[in-house]
Amino acid sequence: MVPRIYHIVANLTVWDWFFILIYFLFTLLVGFYFTRRATTNIAQYFTSGRGMPWWLLGTSMVATSFAADTPLAISGLIVKQGIAGNWYWWCMVPIHVMGAYFFARLWQRAGVLTDTELVKIRYSGKPAKILRGFRALYFSLPYNCLVMGWVNLAMANILGMTFKFNKLTSVLICFFFTMTYSAISGLWGVMVTDFFQFFLAMGMAILLSIYTINHIGGMGVILERLAAIYGGASKTMISIFPHDSPLPPLYNQLLLPTSLFLLYIGMVWWTTGNTDGGAYLAQRMLSAKNEKHSFLGYLWFSIAHYSLRPWPWIIVGLGAAVMFPGIG
């Protein structure tokens, strides 16, 4: 069966516009506030003077790890593959646990400004230059273009639904806004706004999950309607661990097959990039007060990233499977 497409139109009130403007103004003010401190020297700009506490840098890691596309992607996984579909990214748990215990202190101890600088120190000669050049090209072009592409597409779709903007206008507005406060305030402004944005996003996600439960009539009703709509596959949809099940009535595919689950936990997690906690995670650890704060920050990120953050979205995903059967 071809998945259904639902057209949802959002109508914003004056209060909606008021809070949106407050959010934009607050974020810009944070950026301007930290401009002088961030531009004192290069260490302040890239590592916040190496004085960040664990709770701030860890929360910044969590906030940076999800964007407009993440709640949509996870809710979509729930609808099409059940809760177990999250093993697509839950399989990365070993990376971050090992990162906290084996790499967090080492990143802080390295004393570099970026993970690229570590490559320069660790390797020498012509091979090191080739490696740095490859990393620069790989992360700047194919990797970041793909990541930014799907993130911006999700953001453009959301803004198109709420503000009636076309995709190009949406991308340009958000690019200008984000670039402004990030460029002028360095890591100081980025981490402080991350902290604020994390609690704002999580608060709204929790409220949405509560609204979803109340709107449908409670978790018991959600489970009953899942069984009525998806038949025998409903039990698999709410199972954390997958097992092959009958086809859901509205889809011509299995929920998460056991073979794919085994592939995730057996191979994907150790073949992915940044298994050492590099990139934006390393940048936060490099800004820590000391090795202890680097370790605790990475550990807090790992706990919040996997154990706390996804559950409101999972509830919303189950609600979406009930309210919009066959959504595509």
Q: Is the dihedral of CA 87, 92, 97, 100 positive or negative?
A: negative
How many CA atoms within 13 Å lie on the side-chain side of 135? 17
pLDDT of residue 163: 80
Q: Above pLDDT 70, what percent of the chain?
A: 91
Q: Is residue 97's pLDDT more than 60?
A: yes
Which domains occur in the chain, in start order?
14-113+186-323 (1.20.1730.10)
pLDDT of residue 285: 93
Give the pLDDT confidence of 232-259 residue by residue, as tens digits: 778 888 888 876 555 454 444 556 777 7
pLDDT of residue 252: 43
Indicate the burial class of 324 (C-beta count within 10 angstroms; 0-12, 13-18, 19 or more): middle
Give the pLDDT confidence of 64-87 residue by residue, as tens digits: 888 878 888 888 888 888 888 888
What average pLDDT score do residues 83-97 get?
Answer: 88
pLDDT of residue 105: 92
pLDDT of residue 247: 47
Q: pTM of the entire structure? A: 0.86
185 in Cβ contact with 30 (< 8 Å): yes
Q: Is residue 314's pLDDT more than 50?
A: yes
pLDDT band at residue 275 under the 50/70/90 scheme: low
**What's the chain's average pLDDT?**
85
